[in-house]
Structures are given as structure tokens and as C-alpha cells.
């Protein structure tokens, strides 16, 4: 901008043309950003204002962008008509960030959008922090939701990550980019593994170097394993994340959708001190400072705006199938009811979580749905480790993978994708006549007695001509149809463990004379279905239809063996 505009801009600033700051007064809820000319010297000469310790301008193509939400994680404001903002920050958090408006992007720095600036001076010293946005059209866009990477330089994780996940995700990214669709990444926490930071010399900076190989910008979320295990104070334990990655909670907009990233881990870590790793304990909780910020952030958003809340620990516990065939669940987050009370004001809310390494969907209300997403690392990179099963499978039998969210205006569609698998690979069918798990076949160095406690019902022969179907993306709006010789078979929902995961993890660990880690063992899953065929050899036609009317089929030739590479 030309300097000749400066005097007029300054005069307007001094007579109080600033938008109010949330926490001190109410603010306009208009979420549409508009641009005006007149910003002085690209933000170099913005005058100070009493009580304001951070100031700056948000620009796009050298023009101020109005109505951009700006925050330090405590107070929240918006830029004025010239893109200028002021914050009375105490600098408790060492940064200021913007909520990127829809139809804009922040250029990435080492793979992460530069939507934040560090605050480096004392709390009473005024700092100027400016932001640059790039105008785009992301009304239609794609988000890749990637949970639980757990990179730690163990179990051949880096080679599995690069040859499997990186290659897979970059193929997906290329397909969307070639079609002209904007695409972004969103991790769901547990990027690393705190207990191996110091033992394996693998830190968040190493994770960031690995992720730069992904060919799109990545928004990141903090998980319980991304805290510094030397600290018992939650805020101090998150310092490494804030330094290496960025803010631990923030928001951004893509097109017409508002995304909120939360840190719902309160790190306790009893016994931790410099040089000593504590017990790495934590509470599933959104601390009060962050909850207050969330209310302020959402007060800027129209209630008809679709909201996507992304956080690490699940809001709801895994739903359980009761004897009457109905699902029930309980809230996992200690202040989850408070979060739901805030979100229930909006017409459409999707909550994306990880942490469990399994897939499930739970509707808290007609407007709020949680999607718990299985892990990129599957079973902590165990089943694909050298000398193991050679596959990549999660505790519930889902393939290790991530979710693809396609957004068209305010319409959202989603689909879970297994790493190394086509997008239409949405279920796996087992011939239970062939799912007898024995030590002789799957763990010859151990005994049937030891294996039985993990194999459960599969430790005994089942010759009932039953077929088990694991549909990992299933929700109540999916449909499963199985035909034999043109006749529909009754389909019954069951809650059981996945046999392929048992032989891929537990059997291999027992075969190495090691006790399977309890957190890693096969999980009961309720996205399982059984049918009974008339005999042991008839071919079945399995058709699964998701809520978006996408159909997935298998012509199941029986007998079908239980093998590590089965589909």
C-alpha cells in the first residue's frame, strides 16, 4: 500500500474503529471475509493502542482481509475493515494465530500451514505479527483424517510408513489434485510416542521431517503421546509440541465448513522430572482455558455452518451391542457433556477422533455424530514388522488406514481407506468353517493352551457353515445383503473379535515367547455380521451399501482359507 493512505487509516484507528474483542464485548457473527484497501505499509507502521500487546494485519495480495478471527488461545477478536487486529495478550501461549477464512489458504512451512506466529518478547512488550493469505476456491475440498501414526523409530515403522502410507496417501492426493479439487491433511494425534522420545532419539521434529513427504498441507492435533514425558505440568508438557508443530488448539475454515482442533488430553505424568520419564498418565479432558476459548471461537460462527471438531481421545466409549441387538455407549471425555452442550446449538456437527485404533460411529444427537477413526499405524506397526504377518491390520480387523472426507459446499461425505487397498475395499468375509486357530498352524513355537486365551471362540472348530463379515465403516444407515443361489440369507449383527488380527498379532507375539501387550490385543467389534449358508461349499454374493449409496461386493468362493494376505 502507498504511504499516502497512512494518515487516514491512523485517524480511523485512534477514533475507535476497531471491532470489539471477545471477552470484553460481543462481536459480529458475520463469518464472510471481505477485503478493503488502505492497510499502511503492509502492516509495518500500525500504531500502538493502550493495553494491546499484540497487533498486526492479515493480508492477501497486499490487501487487508476483514473479519478474520485472530486469537492467542485466550482472547479472540476479528480484523477490521483494513485487516488490522489488536490483542490484549498476556502471552500465556507463546503464539498468536488466525482462523484461516474459507476460500483462503496459508502457505505451508515445512508441510504445516503458517497460520500462527511465535510471540517472543515479555508480556508487556508490544509485538507486531502479520499474516499472509492466498485466495483460493475451496468450497469443494477433501480432508484426509489420519489418526495415530505413532512414529518412534521401532518395528520398522519408518520403512512401513514411507513405503506403505506415504505412497498410498500421495496417490490419493494426486488423484484429487489432478481433478482440480483442493485437498488437505488433518492428523488426529499421537504423531509420535513419548516413551521413545529419549530412548530412540525420535522427537516431534523427526515426525515433522517425515510428514513433509506428503504432498499437501497438514493440520496437526496433539495426542497423549505427544507430551514431553519429563514434565508433570500439562502446559509445560505441551511446550515441545507448540515449539515443533504449533498451537495445540485452534480453528480454521475450508470453504463453508468450520474446523476446530482441540487438545483433549490433560497430561498428569506422575513421577516425571528432567531426565526421568513419569508414568505418562493423563485425563481425558478439555481444560477450562481451552473450553472458554472454544465458546468464543464458535460465537463467531453462524449456527447453520457445518462444524467439524477434531481431537485425539474419543468423546464416546466404543458402543456395545446388548442382548437385544441394540447399541449403547457412554461419554468418555470427563467434560464431554459440556462440550456437547456447546455443539448442540449447531445444525450439523461431526467429531473426528482417534486414540482407540478401531473404527466406530456414534450419534449423540440428530445433529452431532462422532467418527472414531482407526490408526495409520494399525497395531503400532507390529503386524507388518519384519518376520511377522506381512499385513497391516488394526485391533478390530480394520486395515490400517485413514478417512477421506469429501466436502461439496455444506455437504459432507466420508469413507475409510485401507493403506495399500482400493477405496472400495470396505469389508472382509470369513468362512468360519476355516477359522480354527491352532498353535500348530499359526504359532508352532507356543502351545494351544497359551493361544486359546487369545483365540477365544476360534480355538475350537466351527463347522456350522457360518460366514462372518467385518464391515469396518458401518453405521446404522448402511445395508448388508447376502444371497445364496439367488436367495437372501438372514443377516445377524454380532460383537466378536476379528480372527485375522488374532493370528497376525497375538499368535506372532506368543510364537516369539512374548506376552501380547494388552492394549494391542484384538478388540471386540460391533461392525460384525453373520450369515449361515446351507452347506460348506456354496458361493455367496455379498453386497454392502453405505449411507451414500455406494455399493461394495464380493463373490465369496467357499471354502475360503484364513490366511495373512486374505481380503
Does residue 97 have a pLDDT over 90? yes
Pair (363, 265) in one structural domain? yes
Instruction: Dump the DSSP string for 300-360.
Output: TS-TTS-EEEE-SS-SBPPPEE-TTS-EE--B-STTHHHHHHHHTTSS-EEEEE-SSSS-E
Q: 257: how many CB neighbours lie within 10 A of its CB?
A: 24
**Beta-bridge mates of residue 147:** 375
List, in order, residues 6 or more apart from 162 with CB less than 8 Å away.
Answer: 210, 213
Question: End-to-end distance of the chain based on CA atoms, in angstroms?
Answer: 61
d(CA 418, CA 410): 26
Pair (152, 292) in one structural domain? yes
Pair (149, 76) in one structural domain? no
Instruction: Dump the DSSP string for 415-465.
Output: EEEETTS-TT---EEEEGGG----HHHH-TTS-HHHHHHHHGGGGS---S-
**Taking all residues of the chain, what is their mean pLDDT, rounded to a whole number?**
93
Element (H, E) at 219: strand 218-219
* End-of-domain residue from the set 106, 134, 162: 134
In a domain, 511, yes or no: yes
Peptide bond into 65 cis (omega under 30): no
Nearest-CA neighbor of 42 among 89, 83, 101, 94?
Answer: 83
Pair (279, 206) in one structural domain? yes
Q: 538: how many CB neighbours lie within 10 A of its CB?
A: 13
Pair (246, 304) in one structural domain? yes
Mean pLDDT in residue range 439-454? 97
- pTM exceeding the 0.85 threshold for the entire prediction: yes
Pair (466, 452) in one structural domain? yes
Q: To which residue does cell 493352551 refer?
A: 449
d(CA 506, CA 498): 12
In a domain, 33, yes or no: yes
Rg value, the chain, Cα: 26
* End-of-domain residue from the set 418, 448, 481: 418
**Beta-bridge mates of residue 146:** 187
Structural domains in the chain (count) = 3
CATH number at residue 324: 3.60.21.10
* End-of-domain residue from the set 395, 418, 441: 418
In a domain, 567, yes or no: no
Pair (94, 242) in one structural domain? no
Structural domain boundaries, residue 287? 140-418
Pair (400, 436) in one structural domain? no
Position 42 scores a pLDDT of 65
Position 358 scores a pLDDT of 98
Mean pLDDT in residue range 322-338? 92
- Band of pLDDT at residue 41, cut at 50, 70 and 90: low
In a domain, 423, yes or no: no
Pair (407, 462) in one structural domain? no
CATH number at residue 472: 2.60.40
- Band of pLDDT at residue 45, cut at 50, 70 and 90: confident
Long-range contacts of 448-454 (CB under 8 A, 24+ apart): 450/510, 451/506, 451/507, 451/510, 454/502, 454/506, 454/507, 454/510, 454/516, 454/521, 454/522
Pair (147, 277) in one structural domain? yes
Q: Distances in Å between the alpha carbon of 476 and those of 397, 479, 490, 536, 547? A: 19, 8, 17, 30, 8
Please work out, in degrees rounded to the nearest 5, the angle formed at the alpha carbon of residue 233 by the alpha carbons of 520 and 87.
115
pLDDT digits (tens, 9 = 90+) for 190-249: 999 999 999 999 999 999 999 999 999 999 999 999 999 999 999 999 999 999 999 999
Mean pLDDT in residue range 262-266? 98
329-342 b/e (C-beta count within 10 Å ≥ 16 → b) = bebbbebbeebbeb
pLDDT digits (tens, 9 = 90+) for 308-329: 999 999 999 999 998 888 899 9
- Band of pLDDT at residue 455, cut at 50, 70 and 90: very high
In a domain, 196, yes or no: yes
d(CA 69, CA 416): 32
Q: To which residue does cell 496433539 refer?
A: 222
d(CA 375, CA 282): 20
Element (H, E) at 171: helix 167-178
Position 23 scores a pLDDT of 47
pLDDT digits (tens, 9 = 90+) for 118-172: 999 999 999 999 999 999 999 999 999 999 999 999 999 999 999 999 999 999 9
In a domain, 566, yes or no: no
Between 22 and 64, the higher pLDDT residue:
64
Please answer whether residues 114 and 96 qualify as being in contact, where contact means their C-beta atoms are separated by less than 8 angstroms. no
Pair (392, 468) in one structural domain? no
Backbone angles phi, psi at 484, to 5 degrees: -130, 120
Residues in the chain: 567
Pair (196, 118) in one structural domain? no
Q: Distances in Å between the alpha carbon of 333 and those of 191, 266, 313, 363? A: 20, 11, 8, 15
In a domain, 565, yes or no: no
Does residue 22 have a pLDDT over 80? no
In a domain, 167, yes or no: yes
Category of 427 on φ-ψ map: left (φ > 0), alpha (ψ -120 to 50) or beta = beta
d(CA 56, CA 43): 6
Amino acid at each position: 500500500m502507498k504511504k499516502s493512505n497512512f494518515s487516514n487509516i491512523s485517524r480511523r484507528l485512534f477514533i475507535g474503529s476497531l471491532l470489539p474483542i471477545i471477552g470484553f464485548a460481543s462481536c459480529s457473527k458475520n463469518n464472510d471475509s471481505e477485503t478493503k484497501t488502505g492497510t499502511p505499509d503492509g502492516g509495518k507502521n500500525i500504531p500502538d493502542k493502550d493495553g494491546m500487546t499484540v497487533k498486526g494485519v492479515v493480508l492477501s495480495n497486499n490487501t487487508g482481509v476483514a473479519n478474520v478471527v485472530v486469537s492467542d488461545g485466550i482472547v479472540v477478536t476479528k480484523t477490521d475493515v483494513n485487516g488490522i487486529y489488536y490483542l490484549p495478550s498476556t502471552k500465556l501461549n507463546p503464539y498468536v494465530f488466525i482462523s484461516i477464512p474459507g476460500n483462503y489458504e496459508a502457505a505451508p512451512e515445512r508441510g504445516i500451514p503458517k497460520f500462527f506466529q511465535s510471540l517472543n518478547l515479555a508480556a508487556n512488550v508490544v509485538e507486531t505479527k502479520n499474516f499472509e493469505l492466498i485466495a483460493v476456491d475451496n468450497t469443494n475440498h477433501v480432508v484426509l483424517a489420519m489418526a495415530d501414526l505413532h512414529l518412534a523409530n521401532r518395528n520398522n515403522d519408518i520403512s512401513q510408513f514411507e513405503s506403505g502410507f506415504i505412497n498410498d496417501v500421495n496417490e490419493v492426493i494426486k488423484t484429487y489434485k489432478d481433478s482440480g479439487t483442493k485437498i488437505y491433511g488433518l492428523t488426529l494425534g499421537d504423531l509420535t510416542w513419548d516413551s521413545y522420545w529419549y530412548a530412540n532419539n525420535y522427537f516431534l521434529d523427526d515426525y515433522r521431517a517425515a510428514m513433509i513427504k506428503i504432498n499437501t498441507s497438514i493440520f496437526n492435533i496433539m495426542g497423549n503421546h505427544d507430551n514431553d514425558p519429563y514434565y508433570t505440568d500439562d502446559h509445560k508438557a505441551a511446550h515441545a509440541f507448540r515449539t515443533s508443530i504449533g498451537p495445540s488448539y485452534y480453528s480454521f475454515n475450508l470453504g463453508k465448513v468450520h474446523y476446530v482442533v482441540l487438545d483433549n488430553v490433560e497430561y498428569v505424568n506422575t513421577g516425571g522430572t528432567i531426565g526421568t520419564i513419569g508414568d505418562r498418565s493423563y485425563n481425558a479432558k478439555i481444560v477450562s482455558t481451552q473450553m472458554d476459548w472454544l465458546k468464543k471461537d464458535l460465537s463467531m460462527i453462524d449456527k447453520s455452518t457445518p462444524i467439524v471438531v477434531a481431537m485425539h481421545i474419543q468423546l464416546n466409549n466404543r458402543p456395545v451391542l446388548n442382548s437385544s441387538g441394540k447399541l449403547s455407549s457412554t461419554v468418555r471425555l470427563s467434560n464431554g457433556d459440556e462440550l456437547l452442550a456447546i455443539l448442540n446449538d449447531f445444525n450439523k456437527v461431526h467429531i473426528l477422533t482417534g486414540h482407540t485404533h478401531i473404527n466406530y460411529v456414534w450419534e449423540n444427537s440428530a445433529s452431532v455424530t462422532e467418527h472414531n477413526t482407526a490408526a495409520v499405524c494399525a497395531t503400532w506397526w507390529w503386524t507388518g514388522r519384519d518376520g511377522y504377518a506381512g499385513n497391516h491390520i488394526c485391533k478390530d480387523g480394520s486395515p490400517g488406514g485413514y478417512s477421506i472426507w469429501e466436502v461439496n459446499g455444506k455437504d459432507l461425505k466420508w469413507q475409510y481407506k485401507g493403506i495399500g487397498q482400493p477405496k472400495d475395499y470396505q469389508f472382509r468375509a470369513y468362512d468360519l468353517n476355516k477359522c480354527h486357530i491352532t498353535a500348530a498352524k499359526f504359532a508352532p513355537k507356543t502351545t494351544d493352551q497359551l493361544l486359546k486365551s487369545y483365540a477365544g471362540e476360534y480355538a475350537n472348530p466351527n463347522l456350522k457353515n457360518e460366514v462372518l463379515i467385518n464391515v469396518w465403516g458401518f453405521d446404522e444407515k448402511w445395508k448388508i445383503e447376502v444371497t445364496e443361489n439367488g436367495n437372501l440369507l438372514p443377516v445377524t449383527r454380532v460383537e466378536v473379535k476379528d480372527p485375522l488380527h488374532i493370528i497376525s498379532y497375538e499368535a506372532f507375539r506368543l510364537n516369539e515367547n512374548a506376552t501380547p501387550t494388552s492394549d494391542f490385543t484384538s478388540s471386540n467389534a460391533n461392525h460384525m455380521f453373520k450369515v449361515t449358508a446351507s452347506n460348506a461349499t456354496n458361493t455367496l454374493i455379498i453386497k454392502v451399501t453405505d449411507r451414500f449409496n455406494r455399493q461394495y461386493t464380493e463373490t465369496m468362493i467357499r471354502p475360503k482359507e484364513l490366511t495373512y494376505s486374505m481380503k
